[in-house]
Structure 1
Amino acid sequence: MDLVRHLRYFTVVAEELHFGNAAIRLGMAQPPLSQRIKRLEEELGVRLFDRSARQVRLTEAGRLLLGEAREIVARVDRLRELARHGEGAVLKVGVPPDLAAAVIAALVAGFRESHPEVRLAPAEIWTADQVAALAGGTIDVGVVRHPVTAPGLYFGQTLVQPQGVLLAEGDELAQRAEVHLADLAGRELLMPPKEGEPGMHAEALAECRRRGYVPAQVHEGSGLGLVMAGAAVAFGPRQESPGLAWRPLIGSPLSYRISTAWRVASDTVADFSAAAVRTLKESAGMAEQSSAPVRRVSRRPGALA
């Protein structure tokens, strides 16, 4: 558990005394915030809030912890700021944990070419945690999957990434040139965690149901061991991996939407966003979305060129 991040969540809830308002302030959904507070309580072995239908109040343990939590969060923020000044310019970037390593490497290399003086520090975290990290200032810019709803968040150009199906190499469906979603009926499905990718998770499952595929069970994770073992299927971009077979889906029913996201604009963030678009097109097979439904801003204060 990232204790500092959970303490940051705790301080915001303690200040708002309302989980809904705290979630809006953190730029995340309320259920994941409640789960993180519960996990912190379990880790510390105390109850931090009294919850009722009408109000949320700090317990005595919560009141005692609040001052210490604020100091810890502030000290960590100061340490990070000192470290940044000591080692030169650093751009902290969030990327999905299931983004291919080669794509992450291309992102770093592509940005380094134009900004050798800036060190790129990528962190592999899911979209929901990126939104919270952007709100808390622990990352400067993220590569997120849509839909995302977060007040105060700005987005770069939206790209789409068509998804095919990943099967075990010996699966009978691997003998076909392409697969219909309904052909997967009765099979278990491996997806990124719902808590980490709530919007994409909901959209993908809704499209599966609409096209005749209701997974027998949905597993959550980023490793493909279950797929290689023939215990589940997964969706993903075109790829070649030992023990796996990738096949396109008939009608291209699934496409994930991806963009950069930030709260505090700067020329460095804007330049990274532009470099990310180029890299994701070239290295990850993504394409421009014809009409992006997300909020855009001009290059000043920091949108894509």
Structure 2
Amino acid sequence: MHYVLMLLMLKELHCFTKVAALLSFSKAAADLGMSQPAMSQAITRLERAAGVRLFERTARDVRLTAEGKALLPYAEQALESVRAFSAEAARLARPIIHLAYPPLVGALAARIARRLAGRSPAIGVELRAAGRSAAARALEDGEVSAAILATPAPARFVTAARFHVTVDHVAVPVGHRLAARPRLTPDELGGQVLITPGSRPWAGLPGRPRLVADDDFAAALDLVAAGAGLLPIPQLLVRAIRRDDVRFVPLEAGDLRITYALAWSRERVTPELMALVQAVQDALWTR
């Protein structure tokens, strides 16, 4: 009998759960687009295979038997397992791109993922927030398909779709003599320690650079709050961050900016990767 039950078509279980929910063969049949006789036959097949009656049927109503009530959760669980199996199989069959990105451009990364998910055929995107060195290592090791890196990217990678993020504020610790200024110019930063998230000092700004290991602005702001230095920062982050221990002062620095690009390994080019390059370019053009 167990073997027979395992071979039951999902249709019978689906009919069982639908009749149990509506307590009406006619309504359940209409809901599933079946005739009432076909619905009755499906339930009869299931009852014969299980060896128990599932419903008490009279001219006026339909009720679950005690056996039907006991078996209903198992039928629902079986159908849910099949739905989960189908969904996971569809996900696994879909091409996946793994993209590393700096948190600063997280909104862009999300927009890219939505674009690829909406194309036909769809491409799934697994996003990994990572600083520059961690993203470059993951790209080198093949853990990600591509990465958005601050330029210049390592020469061993191919790059495309460059874009710029303007740096137009300075994060200053509350209580610092510059915190009350309505705006700052580069000359006023002379003699200050300027925290640099990444591998290069801020071009065109005076002051003593303090390099931190990665382009992690959140960690760099902790250093600002601790009095370790000042941090040039894009307005993109200023709008998203609220801290009581740091003040963001506008900076009139002209063309100060961070340039990013999509990078990938020339040995791992796939059609999905080329679709990613196109999605990045489209996302940049339609901002």
Under TM normalisation by the shorter chain, which class is it? Answer: 0.5 to 0.7
Is the 2:196–2:211 Cα contact (8 Å) retained in structure 1? yes
1:167-187 CA-partner distances (Å, limit 9, x unpaired): 235544344343223322343
Does residue 182 (structure 1) correspond to residue 176 (structure 2)? The answer is no
Structure 1 unaligned runs (5+)?
A: 1-82, 284-305
Amino acid aligned to 1:91: I
Matched, 1:105 2:110: yes
TM-fit CA distance, 1:84: 11
Relative to structure 1, is the Cα distance of residues 181 and 170 closer, same or farther in structure 2, using a 3 angstrom cutoff?
Answer: same
Deviations 1:103-159 (A, max 9, x none): 4433333432336732211222333443343333221111111112323x2211211
Q: State the TM-score, normalizing by the size of structure 1.
A: 0.51
1:252 aligned residue? 254
* Equivalent residue in structure 1 for 2:233, among 222, 230, 236: 236
Map of 1:1-305 to 2, 5 A cutoff? 86=92, 88-96=94-102, 98-114=103-119, 117-151=122-156, 153-164=157-168, 165-168=170-173, 171-192=176-197, 197=198, 201-202=199-200, 204-205=201-202, 207-208=203-204, 211-215=205-209, 217-220=210-213, 222=216, 223=219, 224-238=221-235, 239-240=238-239, 241-243=241-243, 244-263=246-265, 264-279=268-283
Residue type of the partner of 1:92? H
> Take 1:230 and 1:154, find their aligned partners in 2: how far apart are those partners?
39
Amino acid paired to 1:214: R
Contact 1:131 1:150 in 2 (8 A): no
Check conservation: 2:99, 2:144, Cα contact below 8 A: yes
Instruction: State the 1:237 CA deviation.
Output: 1.3
Deviation at 1:100, TM superposition (A): 4.9
How many angstroms apart in 2 are the aligned matches of 1:129 and 1:266? 23
- 1:32-61 per-residue CA deviation (whole Å, 9 max, x = no partner) reads xxxxxxxxxxxxxxxxxxxxxxxxxxxxxx
User: Counterparts of 2:150 and 2:284 in 1: how far apart (Å)?
Assistant: 13
Give the Å deviation of 1:189. Answer: 3.3
CA distance in 2, matches of 1:118, 1:234: 38
* 8 A Cα contact 1:84 1:90, kept in partner: no
Higher strand share: 2
Alpha-carbon offset, residue 260 of structure 1: 0.5
Change in 2 beyond 3 A, CA 1:89/1:280: same
Given residue 257 of structure 1, which amino acid in structure 2 is its aligned partner? T
Q: Pairwise CA RMSD of aligned residues?
A: 3.3
Kindly tell me the number of residue pairs found equivalent between the two proteins: 187
Q: CA distance change for structure 1 residues 117 and 142 in 2, over 3 Å: closer, same or farther?
A: same
Kindly name which structure, 1 or 2, has the bigger radius of gyration based on alpha carbons.
2
8 Å CA contact 1:180–1:250 kept in 2: the answer is yes
User: What is the rounded CA distance, in whole Å, between the counterparts of 2:286 and 2:196 in structure 1?
Assistant: 25
* Percent of matched pairs sharing the same residue: 19
CA distance in structure 2 between the aligned counterparts of 1:234 and 1:267, rounded to whole angstroms: 40
Change (3 A) 1:101 1:155: closer
Name structure 2 gaps, 5 residues minimum.
1-88
